[in-house]
Amino acid sequence: MIISSMLKTPIQDKDLMLHLENITEDGRDIFLIADDQIRLTAANCTTLVNQMRANHKTGLLESYVLGQAYIAGILLSSCVKGNDRIQLQIECGGPIKGISVESWACGAVRGYLLNNPIPLEKPLTSLDTSELFGPGFISISKILEGSKEPVTGTVMMSYGNIAKDLALYFNESEQTPTLFYISLKFDNKGNIIGAGGLFIQALPGCDEKILETLQEKSSTISNLGLALSRNESAEEYVLSNFAEFKPRKLAHSHIGFSCPCSKKGFEKYLKTLPQKEKEEILKGSFPLNLECFNCGSTYSFEKSDVETLFDKEEK
């Protein structure tokens, strides 16, 4: 179950809301294919990405880039269990500057773009993101419950493309043949009407011929975002596009844009500030608005609220 105390910004477009209500709900499905030699995770993230867009107030380009990172986070967290989580970090020299996404085994994900909006010297002529990222590094950290230190791997980005660079990460850092496919479908108004991804990974002892066949298959499969926008589920998509590999479903889980931030959490933060900073806050303008950069939730405090907080701390 995904429980969140963050503030969700309402999605304003009525046509988009009606569309989201009439397509298959978000979810993540895990399969074994090719005689249990390949693990395949499929995710429908359409509502999740639209809520992300509403909360972070992202434009079309920013939604496209950050949406890919959110989908990647949902796919990656299928590899951990219990209260474990994954952190996906990108540091780069292009106008994006960086992305930080955190996802939990339960299917919750949050994260942000370092530059929102992304500053551009000239309009893009395609959805090639390599110029947006430029030179950079992609890191994945597994934060396992009970472990003192996260397990982190890092590789240099070679493509400036989240899906391709994630595949490179697993191939180089973990020596595991891997494919990622991330798809977002926009309508003519710029709304995201379908969003999802696939995470295909070889298990130990996998036949190389099967990997070659899957590599070829990945270039010919139908558009996932379009399929999801037409009310097809992620499961139906896998069963249709990978029928020859005889998919065997292992699990289904709910997913969602979720953040553990809360107003009480920010109250605790305010209480811990040095006295000088507290005095400067009280001299400033109100309401005091504090934003969680991970989810875009904004918590407002009136002057009387802040004075009460600071008085309680002094006592």
Task: State the average pLDDT over residues 12-19.
Answer: 97
Flag whether 309 is in a domain: yes
Task: Band the pLDDT of 297: cuts 50, 70, 90.
Answer: very high
158 and 292 in one domain? no
Tokens coding 291? 């934003």
Domain boundary among 242, 257, 272: 257
Amino acid in position 30: I
Measure CA 281 to chain center.
Answer: 34
Are 26 and 100 contained in the same domain? yes
CATH of residue 301's domain is 3.90.1280.10
Q: What number is the average pLDDT over the span 111-131?
A: 91
Distance CA 142, CA 152 (A): 6
Both 26 and 136 in one domain: the answer is: yes
Same domain, 195 and 269: no
Of 220, 242, 257, which residue constitutes the final position of a domain? 257
What is the DSSP-derived secondary structure letter of residue 244? G
Burial status of residue 263 (CB atoms within 10 A of its CB: 0-12, 13-18, 19 or more): middle
- φ, ψ dihedrals at 141, nearest 5°: -120, 130
The CATH number for 91's domain is 3.55.30.10
- The 10s digit of each residue's pLDDT in 183-194 is 999 999 999 999
Angle at CA 137, nearest 5°, toward 133 and 142? 125
Residue numbers of the domain that contains 305: 263-314
**pLDDT number for residue 124:** 80
Domain count, the chain: 2
Q: Are residues 156 and 35 in the same domain?
A: yes
Q: What are the tens digits of pLDDT across the range 163-173?
A: 999 999 999 99
**180 in the same domain as 119:** yes
Residue at 8 is within a domain: no
Among residues 257, 272, 287, the one where a domain terminates is 257
The pair of structure tokens assigned to 169 is 């990460």
Quote the pLDDT of residue 148.
Answer: 86
Please report whether residue 4 resides in a domain: no
Question: DSSP states of 90-141 as a string?
Answer: EEESSTT-EEEEEEETTSEEEEEESSSSPP-SS--SSS--HHHH-SEEEEEE
Mean pLDDT to the nearest integer, 93-110: 97
Quote the mean pLDDT of the chain.
Answer: 94
* Contact indicator for 86, 108 with CB cutoff of 8 Å: no
Q: How large is the average pLDDT for residues 53-63?
A: 97
Strand pairing class (108-113; 256-257): parallel
Q: 240 and 286 share a domain?
A: no
Q: Which residue has the tokens 């397990």?
A: 151
